[in-house]
Amino acid sequence: MISFAWPWLFLLLPLPLLVYWLPQKRKNRISAALIIPQLLSGTPVTVTTSANKKSPLIILSLCWSLTVLALSQPQWLGETIDIPTEGREMMIAVDLSGSMQIEDMRLNNRTVNRLEMLKQVLGNFIERRVGDRLGLILFADDAYMQTPMTFDRKTVKQMLDESELGLVGRKTAIGDAIALAVKRFDAKQKSNKILLLLTDGQNTAGKITPEQALELAIAKDITIYSIGIGADVMLQQSLFGTRRVNPSSELDEKTLTKLAQQTGGKYFRAKDSQGMELIYDLLDQLEPIEQEQQQMRPLTALFYWPLSLAFLLGSGYLVLVNLIPFIRRTI
């Protein structure tokens, strides 16, 4: 909708009329547009054209009205936008190692690999985190910042959906992922700093060990919530028939638990998609979404439109007034 910052300036609109109707003597004033000689009597006849008298008044009135409209500061009032009253930074570190391709998860009554399940369930969690600044780290042989801290949840979810296995290697650099998250948290931002670490293995690569990264996280007051992904039992076909195996035998739960407990966080175990959803629901309770938010409506200034139109009308009128007599003299 359109609003005006100074609507009281519309009181100036009748000002030209007041000036025009001020009492004054108009004697011996001849308003003649054309003087046609009378051939028979020799006495000139004065012809007054109302169009010539009214056109300057109409143009000047329009210019004045447009100028007053511009002075009243017309603005376009946009849709309401929620602004969080408290800041929270949540970095999400996702494991893209080779073991994430193990198909031991059930999603919508079908068997999928760990990464596909994570994309679906984690994507729903990201959409719920209204008001949080989110970032995305992908790690395997190394850790990479896929999405810097942003309020744009849609972009974070899209970058997660576009991640592929083997994109950053086949191993697992948990220490590097934590260290990168610590580095990329905004030191100037006064907020709760949360690292959500999702992995299905143990640290097998990287330049920094999980213990060294833990010291950095504690020093920067970062809370780590770690999630171990993988089923306990999986049926595997072989030449000797079907056998039961543990696909999560390499999951280092001891280190993940230590990382969480010593930073004030918590370790979770996700054995299936339902378990993962329950973990995210619990995270919503541990790190609640800010409910009391400030609201703002963006304003777009529109004053330059009537001001520009007034300038064009006034300039065009002045050009015509001076151009027509010149053309007549030339002819």
Domain boundaries, the chain: 2-78+298-330, 84-290
CATH entry 3.65.10.10 includes domain 84-290:
no
- Is residue 311 over pLDDT 50? yes
∠ CA(97), CA(255), CA(223), 5° rounding?
A: 95
CA 168/CA 143 separation, integer angstroms:
8
Q: What per-residue confidence (pLDDT) applies to 156? A: 95
- Is residue 229 over pLDDT 70? yes
Contact 279, 268 (CB under 8 A): yes
Mean pLDDT of the chain: 81
Beta-ladder partners of 82 = 295
Q: What per-residue confidence (pLDDT) applies to 1? A: 77
Q: How many CB atoms lie within 10 A of CB 215?
A: 14
Instruction: State pTM to two decimals.
Output: 0.63
291 — pLDDT class (breaks 50, 70, 90): low
248-276, pLDDT tens digit by residue?
888 999 999 999 999 999 999 998 888 88
- Is residue 85 over pLDDT 50? yes
149-163, pLDDT tens digit by residue?
998 999 999 999 999
Q: What per-residue confidence (pLDDT) applies to 203? A: 94
Region of 227 please: left (phi>0), alpha (psi -120 to 50) or beta.
beta
